[in-house]
Amino acid sequence: MNRDLASGAAPFSLRNNTPEQRKAWWLMLGLLAVAFITTIIGASVGSTGFESVLHARDDAVAWQIVWDIRLPRTLGAWITGALLGLAGAVAQGLFRNPLADPFLLGSASGAALGVAVALALFHVSPFATQWVVRLGLTGAAFAGAVMGVLLTLTLAKGVQHTLRLLLAGVIVGVVLGAARDLVTLAVPEILQAMQAFSLGSTGFISWTSCALMVCMWGVCMVTAWMLSHMLDGLSLGEATARSLGLPMVPMRAALVGVLALATGTAVAHTGLIAFVGLAAPHLVRSIARTTHGRLIMLSSLMGGVLLMVADVLARWLVAPQELPVGVLTGLVGGSYLLWLMHRRTARGSGVL
């Protein structure tokens, strides 16, 4: 890791073709292949079955189902998972905590509060299909996520102290969650809608949403990759990172911005989807030990594949009904982390 940090080697560089780098290459190619195959399967799974794909060329309705509903939903699930996986890798590196997840800075609770307030004020449903309504709820969720992060930064008095930032995020999450519950109790009509948001859904992602999330993913990925050497330095300890001459405060602020933007964008479009951002970096590290530049990219790809597969399963397991995708990610991701904790504890190598 020190050699890569010193040389500034780019992710997936073919220089110094070590066994770990080869593992990272194969993992990246494998994840891309799985994503491609799952995209094809996702275009074929739905309440109308495979017939829509078979008759897409000859039937305008079947073509609309595949092109306007299934494909943007499947690709949107990948992009959302990619944003959460990227945010999870950044959060765990920034806080040097394997249990850190993308919702740690209060963005999830803030987004849920924003949606609850919008529903209470305008009496709209997240299941409404009008683009104005969808844009309003998405904007409210994103604004709430940003508000939660800003409140955390204010309470922590900036980004100078990682531990204070972490504790402030936990406190803000609890307070905003309680505020959301108060709004829900005051307006019981929004309870079902808020439950749907809390369980997560990719069912309302459009091509416009995909384009917006791709743009945000590109901005976050480039910024995180440029700052990955700071995360490598932090992994050696904050004192070591300072001795390397890294500008800790502005770089930490930029990483918090990446974390907030990626999480806020994902939550605004799909609601609260658990464990993807937490599990993706762990899955990558269990296969290939690498620097944060590669880890961020691989975690993003892993998160995309995890959520895409979960979305396909949510549509297929009880078809023509549908399971909330957040339930599947919670069950699978939580079970994996429990198994990983048990294995590491049995080996005496720490909790995670």
Q: Identify the CA nearest to 234 among candidates 13, 11, 5, 20.
A: 5
Separation CA 205–CA 207 (nearest Å): 7
| Parent domain of 50 | 2-347
Beta strands in the chain (DSSP E): none
Q: Count how many Cα atoms sit within 13 Å of the Cα of residue 285 in the half-sphere of its side chain.
A: 18
Question: What is the per-residue pLDDT for 1?
Answer: 42
CATH number of the domain within which 70 lies:
1.10.3470.10
Question: What is the per-residue pLDDT for 9?
Answer: 45
- DSSP alpha helix (H) spans, 187-291: 191-199, 207-226, 228-235, 238-243, 248-270, 276-287
Question: What is the per-residue pLDDT for 4?
Answer: 46
Q: Identify the CA nearest to 265 among candidates 146, 176, 125.
A: 146
For residue 283 the two structure tokens come to 């899955």
Say which amino acid occupies 306: L
From first to last of the 352 residues of the chain, give the pLDDT tens digit: 444 444 444 444 445 567 778 888 999 999 999 999 999 998 888 655 555 554 456 567 767 778 888 899 999 999 999 999 999 999 999 888 888 888 988 988 999 999 898 888 876 554 444 444 455 778 888 889 889 999 999 998 877 777 888 899 999 999 999 999 999 999 888 888 888 888 888 888 889 999 999 999 999 999 999 999 888 888 777 777 777 777 878 888 899 889 989 998 999 889 889 889 999 998 999 898 888 999 999 999 999 999 999 999 998 887 778 888 988 888 887 787 788 777 766 666 555 6
How many Cβ atoms sit within 10 Å of the Cβ of residue 62?
Answer: 17
> Is 275 in contact with 335 (CB distance < 8 Å)?
no
> Is 214 in contact with 79 (CB distance < 8 Å)?
yes
How many Cβ atoms sit within 10 Å of the Cβ of residue 335?
Answer: 12
Q: How far is CA 260 from CA 108, 145, 202, 268, 318, in A?
A: 10, 7, 20, 12, 34
Separation CA 83–CA 290 (nearest Å): 20
Place of tokens 């609260």: 272
In a domain, residue 202? The reply is yes
Q: Count how many Cα atoms sit within 13 Å of the Cα of residue 158 in the half-sphere of its side chain.
A: 7
In a domain, residue 279? The reply is yes
**CA 280 from centroid of its chain's CA atoms:** 9
- DSSP structural state of residue 190: G
Question: How wide is the angle at C-alpha 289 spanned by C-alphas 277 and 20, nearest 5°?
Answer: 135
Count the domains in the chain: 1
SS (HEC) of 26-39:
HHHHHHHHHHHHHH
Separation CA 315–CA 325 (nearest Å): 9
In a domain, residue 155? The reply is yes
Q: Count how many Cα atoms sit within 13 Å of the Cα of residue 60 in the half-sphere of its side chain.
A: 0
Q: How far is CA 200 from CA 65, 78, 314, 335, in A?
A: 21, 14, 11, 19
Place of tokens 């955390």: 152
Could you tell me how many helices (H) and strands (E) the chain has, helices first?
16, 0
In a domain, residue 352? The reply is no
Reduced to 3 states (helix: H, G, I; strand: E, B; else coil), residue 20 is helix
Residues contacting residue 338 through CB under 8 Å, at least 6 positions apart: none
Q: How far apart are the first and last CA of the chain?
A: 20
Separation CA 131–CA 188 (nearest Å): 25
In a domain, residue 252? The reply is yes
